[in-house]
Amino acid sequence: MYNYRVATVWGIPIKINISLIVFLPVLAWIIGGGEQIEFYAGLVDGLAGTSLDVSALQDGSTPWVVGSAAAVGLFLSVAVHELGHAAAARRYGIETSAITLWILGGLASLDRIPKEPGRELVIALAGPAASVVTGVACYAALVALPASTTPAVVFVLGWLAITNITLTVFNLVPAFPMDGGRVLRAFLARNRPYVDATRIAARIGTIFALLFAILGIFAAAPMLLLLALFIYSAANGESRVVALEAMLDGFVVRDVYQADRPTVDADVSLDAFAQHVLEDRQDHHVVRDRSGRVVGLVGLDALREHGRDDGVTVGDAADTDLPTVDLDTPAFDALRAMEKSPYAFVADDGELVSVVERDDFASLLELTGLSKKDRFAQ
């Protein structure tokens, strides 16, 4: 939500979330603040053997310039980190739909997460490796600078070198779903089922989330509290998704959808459809044309939008913009395709034959002896 596309790299859209746009000036102010700039200048001096003129860094608008350059450089570094993940994933035929930069860093949206431990390990480590390369490159540029270089340039390069290496180390903390947590899951999955490895990694991630929250409270660090909330939510969310995928393994849409879903002719008026709904007590109906082909889906929402207008037919009001899944599409893949819609058309050899809804998947799991509580157990 509220993501803005700013670039495309290797065919991958790079997006910036509104949270980052709001946070960047704050980060620039933090970096360029008097005490912070003195602290980091000391680190840069120790790293490169320089002797930065702190008074020059604090003069006039220089703190804002330095802070802004460092803040933008940081998130460019984060983009490189995420591109590292994307490049490694592409090596295994996994595409990345987008890279989103937000207040807590970046997110590479892979089309899928490989279940092969070796592949997940490579993809998880590719991001930190890219950050190390970025940090080393900044350090090399820093060392190569002539003595006459302005303090602002020296400071920014040194700060980026230090920050990239620091964030690399932090990213490898085994707090799933951070990179270190995915490395942990990859190792765990070598000798146990993937769903169990995910559950263990998620529990460890939850422990780290609690530790970050406690530290954030005592250190009055709101960013740590936000990170703790993200880790807790993401770890448990991915654990539930992986568990659900395991439970749907072996099922296809053919096993899920209802072939006898109620239908209605496209030429029927909405007024007649309203009477039809009152009689059969069914909300959504598959819409068929005169030749019997499926052409849409109509429900009570159409009546709320158009009323019982005799001049409007079911075909006019039907929803025709639904995702389409094949009868032999794996059940979990179909469910993923329905992330933005509770319904999807079902096709057989390219021809629409019916509609499947999310509740059909819940019914399948119940019929196979899996209660709702079992499905979402941690």
Question: Which of 52, 48, 27, 26 minimizes the C-alpha distance to 39?
Answer: 52
**What one-character-per-residue DSSP string does 138-153 give?**
HHHHHHHS-TTS-HHH
Task: Look up the pTM and report it.
Answer: 0.79
CATH of 253-375, one of 3.30.40.230, 1.10.260.40, 3.10.580.10, 3.90.550.10: 3.10.580.10
* pLDDT tens digits for range 316-343: 778 888 899 999 999 999 998 888 888 9
Q: Residue 373: is its pLDDT beyond 80?
A: no
Closest CA to 137 of 53, 73, 231, 43: 73
* pLDDT of the residue at 286: 86
231, 209 contact by CB (below 8 A)? yes
CA atoms within 13 A on the CB side of 21: 10
Given a cut of 70, is residue 374 above it in pLDDT? no
Distance CA 106, CA 82 (A): 7
For the chain, which residues make up each domain, given as ranges? 3-172, 253-375
Q: Which residue has the higher pLDDT, 32 or 140?
A: 140
CB 313 within 8 A of CB 269: yes
Q: Which of 62, 115, 121 is nearest to 88 (CA)?
A: 121
pLDDT in tens, 224-272: 899 999 999 999 998 888 988 888 888 999 988 888 888 888 887 877 7
Spatial distance between the Cα atoms of 303 and 318, rounded to a whole number of angstroms: 10
- Tokens found for residue 277: 């709904």
Q: Are 37 and 58 in contact (CB under 8 A)?
A: yes
